[in-house]
Chain A
């Protein structure tokens, strides 16, 4: 971790707090999240639904709508704090430096415009290319995401594409302006399994080619373990564990991460009941004192109810926020 911090990270999020001031109380969707991504790295952002993963993504882009607000923290893109940046500057950054791929390819394209027009829009906004060059760039981009007869397809409407192809188009649009960071919010969740792995491979190839970085937001550890260099696990808006993918998957030290990994179905052991984490995410408007996970944790003790655990270094590259972390080989 130390060597990484010495290299200046491309994107550093420090103690980010994004709260939603709703009628029924303050929802601390992101409550002190920090992480760093270097150039060309893929970071997995993992957690259950409602864990604040997507809010992190939207916070980075400055797209938190009222009643939400970034209360504190820094989002440093190459040293520039995006939390302090004005809307005009953020608009420049969006799409050109940081772009996003959404979950549902069925609704992330405008049904009334051709694919070509929607691609062209991004280029017109962020580049000085002329019409011909823009078209050429769109065709090349579509071809590189595996869509054949690309020049013809530019004049097609989204409904003429299948779900997998639409997601390819969405990825093509996200890559068009050659952004440095792509935030992929559950990019394969809405796709069927055979298409999922194609899309994942495609995304990995695309970012490797452009030397871009990626934040992969997902609840699916299997997806993340295939793609990511390192992983940050969120629970109730807090980072509970982070570290290199291999260390984390092989021997996570936080009981929550371990629970997530254990709940991946193991096909070699068909007759055993699928493991699950008992209980569900607590109401984040009204979080208990101490560790948020303690009500569902098999290792919880009296201390967990009193004191909130801080992120501390564990074995290998792992950092975890737990009073009683698991050692490698130890089981929850």
Chain B
């Protein structure tokens, strides 16, 4: 019953006719599959030193001369399979993007609700911090934070969350301000509901829709920021190489003709972010009543 309702909905109808939505969601599904099933798709665990053989180092992709059928996209300097590295690296990239998005969304939404609902000095303080943050590029703030707290997956998550909550806070505050003017919020107050309950039950559900779009696109943004941080050497540690770190590792030998160690991870990031953004754009068009 819910399935048939979805299949006959306007959303699904528009989805079927939107090439970008189909391409975007297909790419996202492929990555979801790769992230979940990755370790079962490849024979080699690229983090297991015992599985590596230095004799296999810098093998080119399979279609070039000297290619090895065991390593379809070639290997790096340690004899690590690039294809396996990408599958493992994508896990880290996607994990960081998703977790940081959820954390940013939670914190930003909470602060936005508080700012919008209570107003006054609390509102001013929260929103001025947000304004100051927005006046700097987020990569710069993340870079600054990373150089202050050091590297590591947890540190990257903290830095991304510190950068990412702002958009949610601003959006939620805006919608909250317009929502609390509506009479049903007044009616809830008149009925004697405590503020916490009004915020949770009446305001929050009505401000969530735009966050779906922001959240989707932000995963892509976070993947890119994390890649940039790792490329610059302040991101994830070498023991947990994300896609960005793979590019960095390959970059050193890029101009020696060993291009595959860097280019394939780069291509993977591109496809991941491309898919997320395509689908995010579709969601934005669908969920924004003003664009209809």
Residues of A within 8 A of B (CB): 61, 63, 66, 90-96, 99-100, 102-104, 107-113, 121-122, 125-126, 170, 173
Contacts and interface: CB of A to CB of B under 8 A. Distances in A.
Contacts of B201: 113, 121
A122 B202 contact: no
Given A91-B194, A111-B206, A112-B206, A63 B183 contact: no
Interface string B179-210: 00011101111111110000001100110000
B120 interface: yes
B191 A63 contact: no
B150 interface: no
Given A66-B119, A104-B183, A170-B187, A110 B193 contact: no
A103 B183 CA distance: 8
A94 B186 contact: no
A63 B182 CA distance: 15
Contact of B190 (A61, A66, A107, A112): A61
Given A66-B119, A66-B120, A109 B191 contact: no
A110 B184 contact: yes
Given A66-B119, A110-B206, A112-B206, A125 B184 contact: no
Contact of B187 (A90, A96, A108, A125): A108
Interface in B191-231: 191-194, 201-202, 205-206
Contacts of A170: 187
B206 A94 contact: no
B65 to A, nearest CB: 63
10 contacts: A63-B186, A66-B120, A91-B193, A92-B192, A93-B192, A104-B183, A109-B184, A113-B202, A125-B192, A173-B187
Contact of B184 (A94, A100, A107): A107
Interface of B: 119-120, 182-184, 186-194, 201-202, 205-206
A94 B192 CA distance: 5
Nearest to B208: A112
A66 B118 CA distance: 10
B210 to A, nearest CB: 15
A186 to B, nearest CB: 11
Contacts of B182: 107-108
Given A95-B192, A112-B206, 8 more contacts: A91-B192, A92-B192, A95-B193, A100-B187, A108-B182, A108-B187, A109-B187, A126-B192
A272 B88 CA distance: 87
Contacts of B192: 90-96, 122, 125-126
B190 A94 contact: yes
Nearest to A183: B190
Contacts of A63: 186, 189-190
Contacts of A112: 205-206
B155 to A, nearest CB: 38
A212 B206 CA distance: 34
Nearest to A126: B192
Contacts of A61: 189-190
B191 A173 contact: yes
